[in-house]
A and B are shown apart, each in its own frame.
Chain A
Amino acid sequence: MPSLQSLRRKIASVKNTQKITKAMKMVAAAKLKRAQDRILSARPYAHQLRDVVRHLAERASPVSHPLLRKHEGHKTELLVITSDRGLCGAFNANILRQATEFLREHAEQGEQVSVSASGRKGCDFFRRRTWTIRQEWPGIFDRLSFEHALDMGQDIIQHYNDGTFDQLYVVYNEFKSVMQQRVVIEKLLPIESLDEEAGGPGPERSEGTTKTVGAYLFEPDEHELLETLLPKHFQVQAFRVLLESAAAEQAARMTAMDGATRNAGELIQKVTLFYNKTRQAAITKELMDIVGGAEALK
C-alpha cells in the first residue's frame, strides 16, 4: 500500500501539471483567435488569385512561362509543413505519416524524391530518416509573416527553374474548424490549369478545344503579366498554406490541452478518493490497535 505522503505528493504533482496544461490551453486559444482571423482574411485573396491564374493557365500557352511548363523528368519534391512545437496532439504525426506514405509511393514508382520541410518538428523527423532533405525552414511559426513566404517562394521557384525537381507537392494541415484539421496534399508546381474542373463560367466553354490566346486580352503583354502574376501567385499560395497550418496547429494544441486538463482532473479525483480511503483505513487500524491494547490490560 502506498504511503499517505507519496499519495499527497502525487496529487500535488498532477495538480501542477493540470495548471500548466490549463495555461497552455488559454495561450493556444488566444493565439488561435489571431491565427484564425489571419487565415480567414487571407483565404479570399488566395482563392481568387488561384482562380484567375488557373483561368489564365488554360489560355496561355504552357511554354510562355517557366512555371507553367511541365518538366519531363521524374524528380518529385514534397514540401512538408509541420509545427515548431509539440504538445499539439496528433497534428504532426498525421502530417508525417501522410508524408512518408506519399514519399514511399512515389519512390516506388521510380521517381526521385526529396523533401523540404518547414517547421522544426518536420525537420527533426526527416533528419533522423533516410529521405533527402533539400531545404529546411525551421522556427518560422513564432512570427509568421509574408516575408517567410517570399523566402520560400524564391528558393523553390529558383530550384524548380534550375531543374532540381520537376514537380512540387505540399502536405499541410488545413484549418477546417477548431475541432477539425484535415491533412491536404496539393500539387503546387507546375501550375496547372482549371482543365477538367466542372462548372466553369459558361460562354468560353462552348469554344471547346480552340484555346486561343487571342480570346483573352492582356495588358501590358502576356509575358510581362505572367512574369508578375505567377510568382506572386506562388508566394500567396505558400503564405496561405503556412497560415492554414499555423491556425490548425493552435486549434490542435487547444483541443489537446483541453483533453489533458480534463484527464488530469479525473486523475486527481481518483487519487484523492484513494488517498482518503487509505487515510481512513489507517485511522481505523490505529483505533483498533488502541482498543485492542486497552482490552488486553483489563
Chain B
Amino acid sequence: MAETGHTVPSGKLLLEVVTPDKLLVSEYVDQVSAPGAEGDFGVLPGHCHFLTTLRIGELHYRIGEAEHYMSVLWGFVDVTPRKVTVLAEIAEKAEDIDVDRAHAAVVKAEERLERGGLPSEVEEARVSLEKARLREKVAERLKKQGHA
C-alpha cells in the first residue's frame, strides 16, 4: 500500500504478493526475479518503473542469503524503485506445495494431453500440465535446498 512506500530501508525492496484470496508475502527483500510476459526479469532496488503481465512461472526472491521460491500463474507485476507488487491470479509458496501431489498432477495432465480430444480440451490439458510441472519444479527447489 502507498503509505508503506517511504518506510522501506535503503538497499531493500518491499515485495508484496497478493492473490484475490489473500496477501501472501509482504517482506523487505534484496532481489526479485519474476516471469514477465516477454521473458523473465530481475529487479534490484532502484529499478525504474515497470509494469508487465505475468505468465505461468517461477517467482524467486532473496532476503540476505535466504532464497525463496513461489509459483505464480497469470496476473500483473508493478515495479517501482522501492517496491514490487505482484498481483497474481494464483500463487503458492514452495513450502506450501505438496511434492507428491504435484507429481501426481503432472502424470495426470500428461495422460490427458496424450488422450487428445477437442482443441479446447487439449488446450486445457496443456495449461494444466504447465501448471503442474511448474508446481513440481518449485516444490523440488525447496527439497534440494533442504539437502544442501
Q: What is A's interface to B at a CB cutoff of 8 Å?
A: 41-42, 44-45, 47-49, 51-52, 55-56, 59, 146, 194, 197, 199-204, 215-220, 225, 228-229, 236
Q: How far, in angstroms, from A139 to B78 measured CA to CA in the complex?
A: 37
Q: Known interface pairs A52-B51, A217-B50. Does A201 touch B6 (Cβ–Cβ under 8 Å)?
A: yes
The B39-57 residues at the A interface (CB cut-off 8 A) are 48-53
How many contacts A-B (CB < 8 Å)? 89
User: With contacts A55-B78, A199-B6, A201-B2 known, is A236 near B20, CB below 8 A?
Assistant: yes
Asked if residues B82 and A51 are in contact (CB atoms below 8 Å), the reply is: no
Residues B50 and A201 in contact, CB atoms below 8 Å apart = no
Q: Are A49 and B87 also in contact (CB < 8 A) when A44-B18, A200-B5, A217-B51 are?
A: yes
Residue of A nearest to B85 (CB): A48
The complex places the Cα of A52 from the Cα of B1 at a distance, in Å, of 9
Q: Is the CB of B38 within 8 A of A200?
A: no
Residues on A with C-beta less than 8 A from B6 are 199, 201-202
Which residues from 17 to 62 on chain B have a C-beta closer than 8 Å to any C-beta of chain A?
Answer: 18-23, 36-38, 48-53
In the complex, the answer to whether A47 meets B81 with C-beta atoms within 8 Å is no
Across the interface, do A219 and B53 meet the contact criterion of CB distance under 8 Å? yes
Contact assessment for A45 and B3 in the assembled complex, using a CB-CB cutoff below 8 Å: no
Contact B18 A51 (CB under 8 A): no
> What residues of chain B lie closer than 8 Å to A197, measured between beta carbons?
2
Given contacts A200-B5, A229-B76, contact A218 B20 (CB under 8 A): no
Q: Is there an interface contact between A218 and B16, defined as CB atoms closer than 8 Å?
A: no
| A52-B85 CB under 8 A given contacts A201-B5, A218-B51 | yes
User: Which residues in A have their C-beta under 8 angstroms from that of B36?
Assistant: 219
Task: Offer 7 A-B interface pairs, CB within 8 angstroms, sorted by A.
Answer: A45-B18, A56-B78, A216-B50, A219-B50, A220-B53, A225-B51, A228-B53
* A202 cross-chain contacts in B, Cβ below 8 A: 5-6, 82
Q: Does B83 contact A (CB under 8 A)?
A: yes
Contacts of B87 in A (CB 8 A): 45, 48-49, 52
